[in-house]
Structure 1
Amino acid sequence: MSRLARHAATLLGSGLWNWHPLQGGDIAQTLLVYLNDGRTVVAKSGPDPLAEAAMLRAMGETGAPVPAVLAVDADALVMEYRPMEGTLATCWGDLGRVLAQVHEARPEGGMIRYGWAGDYALGAVSVCNTWADRWPEFWAAYRLGVHLAHVPIDVARRLEQLMRRLPDLLPATPAPALLHGDLWSGNVLVAHRSVTGLIDPCCYYGHVEVDLATVGVFSQPPAAFYMAGGPLEAGYAVRFAIYRLWIALVHLRLFGATYRPMVAQYLDDAGAG
């Protein structure tokens, strides 16, 4: 019997009836848990359940569909089960609407700053969120520079070149929006042609185009998705490449050389020589 499933039942003060693994699990174990009192919940292990719970709550406060946090401690996050019988292909427009809702949230006090209240991790890759007052500085230091010591030397040199150019390529002080931060189709629950939940967040405050860009790393969103948040600003293609590069670098470090061509492509698209 799964230790995680037993722990989830204990956190909710119920007995455990059954459980089975949910799709995914590359970074953390996720289970569908059936309790003796008739409830069905989702239980998830690390990397930081308490931080993830805070992120889910922040997104939920915007009114966006997010699984409610039912219980959490340092070892497990227990969430409301949300339907997931559909595919994103049927509701890209609804995802655009949901994201626009999340992106309305701003840092406490309305300050122009970028980051989050604490650091996070995607598996073994640390996600640094130290506050910065200018967006290009944040992206250079905490989304690109943190990888320099962990990638091949030729990739590191191209990253350094790109980092020096970021003040000319990214907006200096865009409105700091609440970001999902790790948005791809696997982190969007869908049923009945609508989004039923955003899951597995890696939240921070930053440029809205980050989420718009990263969802296109493994998918090809249609125009309806982008139109939901208004027209894209000139030069978005280069910025999208810069934002997608972070996802590619994380995958390179987590899963190896298979992702090196993706890193190279986004460096090319960003104009890094």
Structure 2
Amino acid sequence: MKTLAERGAALLERGLALSEPVNGGNLSGLARIALDDGGEAIVKDGPDPLAEAGMLRVIRAAGIPAPDVLAVDTETLVIELLPNGGGTAEAHLGRVMAQLHAVTGESYGWDRDYAFGAVPIGNRRSEDWPGFWAERRLLCHCPHVDGPLARRIETLTATLPSRLPERPRPALLHGDLWSGNILIDGSRVTGLIDPACYYGHVEVDLAMLSLFGRPGPAFREAYGPTETGWSERRAIYQLWPALVHLRLFGSGYRSMVDGLFDAADR
């Protein structure tokens, strides 16, 4: 059976000269390959390489930095290797995210479902944003968590029609926007990676970005002002990735989930 690196080289119809694992592939295999013609690429698998390739192409079509899709099949995705030397790029990230969120869809959701590892992401289209968030992002966890937590989810979702905007503009979302999925080289963002795209309220990406860190004033100035009520909605949107982490990685994330429920209940 071919290794991930060998599958990637075969898709490119090149010989494999060298491969090395890449850190960061918690939910998928990830390798950097060197080819016999001197080229390099990143190879990964995942829940749905074809879907991920489609998302990357949509992001690039919007003029947003993202790796080019070099080859893909149902098991393997080969993408461009981008510079990732590190740095501080908050101002550029703010402009990049504003440009991404300027892309508007016709409804909430995406044309196909996706997954974070073993956790499905339901993306069936909807015209009702609070209903979409309740059904596709919160209630979907109830069969997989304990009774008290399921009841907290049910209680919160019953209040969403009065707490979330009914028809925010359906913006193009990255869907898994944290620092590990933002490639930076110097003062510029060189690529957004590992997307889980769909159309929804822009605050979803902003909430995820602030779950494990805090964007500074340079980001805020470049991105633009937040909508009225953002601070009250942030915890509601952060519950989706927190519940996903709880299901994927275990009880170490329970305190985060409980804290976000407490914040949302205030």
Q: Which of the five TM-score ranges fits, normalised by the shorter chain?
A: over 0.9
Alpha-carbon distance in 1 for matches of 2:156, 2:2 = 46
Alpha-carbon distance in 2 for matches of 1:269, 1:91 = 30
Task: State the superposition RMSD in angstroms.
Answer: 1.2
Q: From 84, 97, 120, give the equivalent of 1:99.
A: 97
Q: From 139, 159, 172, give the equivalent of 2:153.
A: 159
1:170-185 to structure 2, matched below 5 A, reads: 170-185=164-179
Alpha-carbon distance in 2 for matches of 1:170, 1:259 = 25
Secondary structure of 1:83's counterpart equals: coil
Secondary structure of 2:41's counterpart equals: strand
| Structure 1: gaps of 5 or more residues | none
Alpha-carbon distance in 1 for matches of 2:227, 2:64 = 24
Within the alignment, does 1:47 sit opposite 2:47 as a pair?
A: yes
Contact kept? 1:62, 1:104, Cα under 8 Å: no
Alpha-carbon distance in 2 for matches of 1:64, 1:271 = 36
Q: From 130, 135, 157, give the equivalent of 2:129.
A: 135
Alpha-carbon distance in 1 for matches of 2:99, 2:153 = 33
**Amino acid paired to 1:179:** L
**Amino acid paired to 2:20:** H
Within the alignment, does 1:193 sit opposite 2:187 as a pair?
A: yes
**Amino acid paired to 2:12:** L
**Amino acid paired to 1:203:** C
Within the alignment, does 1:226 sit opposite 2:215 as a pair?
A: no
1:114-129 to structure 2, matched below 5 A, reads: 114-129=108-123
| Structure 2: gaps of 5 or more residues | none
Task: Tell me what 2:59 maps to.
Answer: 59
Percent of aligned pairs with the same residue?
A: 52
Secondary structure of 2:140's counterpart equals: helix
CA shift digits 1:153-193 (9 cap, x unpaired):
11111111110000111100001000000000000000021
Cα distance change on mapping 1:86 and 1:22 into 2, 3 Å: same
Task: Tell me what 2:206 maps to.
Answer: 212
* Superposed structure 1 runs of 4+ greater than 3 Å apart: none
Contact kept? 1:129, 1:142, Cα under 8 Å: yes
Of stretches 14-23 and 221-230 in structure 1, the one that deviates more from structure 2 is 221-230
Alpha-carbon distance in 1 for matches of 2:151, 2:241 = 18
Task: Tell me what 1:269 maps to.
Answer: 263
Of stretches 95-104 and 248-257 in structure 1, the one that deviates more from structure 2 is 95-104
CA shift for structure 1 position 227: 2.6
